[in-house]
Structure 1
Amino acid sequence: MSPLLSPDSPELDEAHLALLAHYAKYLGRAPKAMRFASHSGERRSRQKGHGMEMLELRLYQASDELRHIDWRVTARTGQAHTRIYAQENEHQRVLLLDLSNGAYFGTRHTFISTRFIQLAGLIAWRSEQQGDTLSYRLTYGTEDQASNKHGTLPSLLNQLKEASKPAHRQKYARSSSVWSNSIVTAKAHNKDVIIMTDKQTWDDKEELALMRLAKHNQVHWIQIIDSNAFNLPSGQYQFADSQGSKLVNVSKRSMEQAKIEFFAQNTKMRQKLTSLGVRHQMFDLTESPEKIARYLLAQGALH
C-alpha cells in the first residue's frame, strides 16, 4: 500500500516529510488560476500599456504607487482608487492548520490529524518548489505557531513533525479559531488562504473575522472526515481525548444518530461558508493527500 495513503505510523518523521517533496513536485501542472475579484463587481482585465493583469480595483492605501491610481474611478466616486495587478500579487498563500484533540483519531490507514499534516507538508514543499510566498499558522494541543517570513520551510516541517505526535490530543486548550487574531491573516489581501480544520462551529466574532478574510482573499476550506467511524460494529470501545481514556458503548442506533447529527451540523456549516464566499470541500480519510493537493491545484490555490 502507498506510504502516502497509509504511513507506518500516524506520528510522522523527517523521512516521511522529506518524501512529500517528491509527490509535491509531480502533482502536475495547474490551470491558469482565477484570481480574487472584489465583491463590488470589478473583474480582472488586461490593462493596455502595463503588460500586467489587473486583479482588483480598491480604495487607495498609503503604500500604493501613484502610477496605479485609476483617475477615472477616482473622479467618478470622489475617492482615490488603485488598480492591483497580478504581477505584484501572484503566488501568495496562507496556510491555516487547526488540529483539535478529536483529529487525532482514525479507523483506517492513519489519523485525520496525520492526513492534514501530510497535506500541509505537500503545500509547503510545492510552495517552495514554485518560488511562492507561504505564510502559515498551526494550532495543535497547546501550541500556536505562526510565521509570515520567507525561508521558513525547515521550521515549518519541524513543527509539522511535532504536530503529528498523538500526545497532543491530551492537551487541547484553545478557544478561538485559527483564522482570527493572527499576524498572518490580519492584513492578508489578494491571497489564497487554505484552512484545514475539523472545526464545524464558531461564534459571531469568529464569523466576522472569517467574513473579512473571505472579502479580501480567496479562501479554501478543506475538511477531512473518517466516514467509517459511523459504521463501527456494536460493542464497547475505549476512546482517549483531552479528558483521558474512557469506555464507550456503541450500538447501531447510537451510530445512526451520531451520523445524522454530524451531517446536519455539517450542512449548516457548508451553507454558512457558501454565504461567505468560502470554497469548501470534504474528503474521506481513505483518500490520499496527493488527491487533495491536486484538488487545490485545480482550484488555483496551488501552482
Structure 2
Amino acid sequence: MPAPTPNTGTRVALDELIALSALAHGTSLARRRTAALRSGTSTSRWRGRGVDFRESRIYQAGDEIRHMDWRVTARSGKPHTKLFEEEREQGLLLALDLNPGMRFGTRVRFKSVQAARAAALLAWMAAAAGDRVGALGFGGGIDGEVKPAGGRRGVLQVLRALRDWDSVADTSIQSPLSRALVRVRRLLRPGMRLVLLSDGFSTDAEAALLLPQLAARHEITLVVLRDALEIAPPPPGRYALHLGAARRILDFSDERVRGSWTERFSASRARLLEQARKLGLRTIELDAHADLRRALAPLLARSRHSSVVA
C-alpha cells in the first residue's frame, strides 16, 4: 500500500465534523427502556445527599447514620432517616480511543477519523434532543476531557477537542482501556449514557472488571472500529505498511502471514466484544469506510420521543 496522501482521510477535519450536523436532522439517540436505568430530566429517590429533601421514613437496615432525621426521631420515638430527591441529568459521554492501532486504514479513511466522525454525529443528535454532551480522549499520550455541556456550543467544544486530540496523538504511546474507564467513572453522572469508540486493541484484564461496574449504573453503547484489511488479508503480494515514520514490508504471498494476520486482529476485538455480550451492551461494529447514517441506524430514532428496545 502506498503511503496515504496527507490529511486525506488520515486526520480529523473540524469542518467535516461540523457538517455532520446535517445528518442529525430529525433523529435522536434511541434509548433502552430498563427498570434499572431512568434517564432524562426525571427524579429518583435515593438514600444520600441530593438536591432537595423529599421526606423522612422509618430507618431501615443499611441506611447511613449521617442521614438520620434526628428531629423526627426525637418526636416520634422511632428512628427515621431522610430521603432526598436527585435530578437525573440527561447527558452523553463519548469516550474515544486514540491509541496507535486506531491510526490505521486502507479504505477511504483511518479508523481514528471514522471514530471522530461517529462521535460527532452522535454528539449532534444528543444535543438536538436536549442532552448535554461531553468527551474523553485516551491513548496516544492523550489525557483530555470535555465536561458535558448543552446546545451547539457544547457540541463545538467536543468537536474541537476531537480535532485537537487527533492532531497531537503519539503513535508510540499505548494506554490500556482500564485507565480510561477509571476516568469515565469519575465523569459520568446519574442518568448519563456512555458511548465507547474503540477498535478493542487496548482492552486489558482490568477493564473486564470495571465495565460491569459501569454497566450496572449507566447505559453503555460500544462502537467497535475496524478496517477491511483487519477482516481479510489483501491479495497475495508484497505490501508496505506505514505507522508514523516506521515502514514495514509484509509478504502476503506467504500463507502463514495470511493466516496469522486476521487471527491477531480478530482476537483483539473478540475480548471486548465478548465482554459486551456478557453484559448485554448494545454493540455496533463500524467499518472505517462505512456510511455513518446507515451503520449507526440501530442507535437512531426519528424523534426524541421515540425509543428502540434492543
Q: TM-score range by the shorter chain?
A: 0.7 to 0.9
Larger radius of gyration: 2
Does 2:265 correspond to 1:262? yes
Tell me which residue corresponds to 2:290.
287
2:121 corresponds to which letter in structure 1? L
Q: 1:34 aligns with which of 32, 35, 42?
A: 32
Note the alpha carbon deviations across 1:230-251, whole angstroms, 9 max, x for none: 2312222222236722222223
Q: How far is the alpha carbon of 1:278 from its aligned partner?
A: 2.7
Identity %: 19
Q: Which moved more, 1:98-107 or 1:268-277?
A: 268-277
Tell me which residue corresponds to 1:67.
54
Note the alpha carbon deviations across 1:156-176, whole angstroms, 9 max, x for none: 2222223444x7453424345
| CA pair 20-279 structure 1, distance change in 2 beyond 3 A | same
Paired with 2:202 and 2:8, the residues of 1 have a C-alpha distance of 32
Q: What does 1:5-16 correspond to in 2, within 5 Å?
A: 8-16=8-16
1:15 corresponds to which letter in structure 2? D
Paired with 2:55 and 2:261, the residues of 1 have a C-alpha distance of 55
Q: How far is the alpha carbon of 1:68 from its aligned partner?
A: 6.7
Over aligned residue pairs, what C-alpha RMSD do you find? 3.4
| CA pair 136-37 structure 1, distance change in 2 beyond 3 A | farther
Answer yes or no: is the 8 Å Cα contact 1:99–1:198 preserved in 2. no
Q: How far is the alpha carbon of 1:197 from its aligned partner?
A: 0.6
Paired with 2:196 and 2:250, the residues of 1 have a C-alpha distance of 31
Answer yes or no: is the 8 Å Cα contact 1:101–1:141 preserved in 2. yes
| CA pair 82-227 structure 1, distance change in 2 beyond 3 A | farther
User: What's the TM-score, normalizing by structure 1?
Assistant: 0.74
Tell me which residue corresponds to 1:206.
207
Q: 2:163 aligns with which of 161, 164, 172?
A: 161
Note the alpha carbon deviations across 1:47-83, whole angstroms, 9 max, x for none: xxxxx977x66x51212533277x5xx7665636969
Tell me which residue corresponds to 1:273.
276
Answer yes or no: is the 8 Å Cα contact 1:137–1:184 preserved in 2. no
| CA pair 153-82 structure 1, distance change in 2 beyond 3 A | same
Tell me which residue corresponds to 1:48.
none
Answer yes or no: is the 8 Å Cα contact 1:146–1:184 preserved in 2. no
| CA pair 163-53 structure 1, distance change in 2 beyond 3 A | closer
Paired with 1:187 and 1:17, the residues of 2 have a C-alpha distance of 24
Q: Match of 2:206, SS?
A: helix
| CA pair 147-227 structure 1, distance change in 2 beyond 3 A | same
| CA pair 242-181 structure 1, distance change in 2 beyond 3 A | farther
Note the alpha carbon deviations across 1:280-299, whole angstroms, 9 max, x for none: 22122332122234322259
Paired with 2:259 and 2:25, the residues of 1 have a C-alpha distance of 42
Does 2:88 correspond to 1:109? no
Q: How far is the alpha carbon of 1:221 from its aligned partner?
A: 0.7
Q: 1:296 aligns with which of 268, 275, 299?
A: 299
Paired with 1:29 and 1:153, the residues of 2 have a C-alpha distance of 14
1:291 corresponds to which letter in structure 2? R
Q: How far is the alpha carbon of 1:90 from its aligned partner?
A: 5.5
Q: What does 1:154-193 correspond to in 2, within 5 Å?
A: 154-165=156-167, 168=169, 170-177=171-178, 179-182=180-183, 185-193=186-194
| CA pair 234-123 structure 1, distance change in 2 beyond 3 A | same
Paired with 1:12 and 1:106, the residues of 2 have a C-alpha distance of 13
Q: Match of 1:202, SS?
A: coil
Does 2:24 correspond to 1:24? yes
Answer yes or no: is the 8 Å Cα contact 2:106–2:228 preserved in 1. no
| CA pair 220-176 structure 1, distance change in 2 beyond 3 A | closer
Q: Match of 1:148, SS?
A: strand
Tell me which residue corresponds to 1:89.
88
Q: Match of 1:196, SS?
A: strand
Q: Match of 1:259, SS?
A: helix
Long gaps (5+) in structure 1: 1-6, 45-51
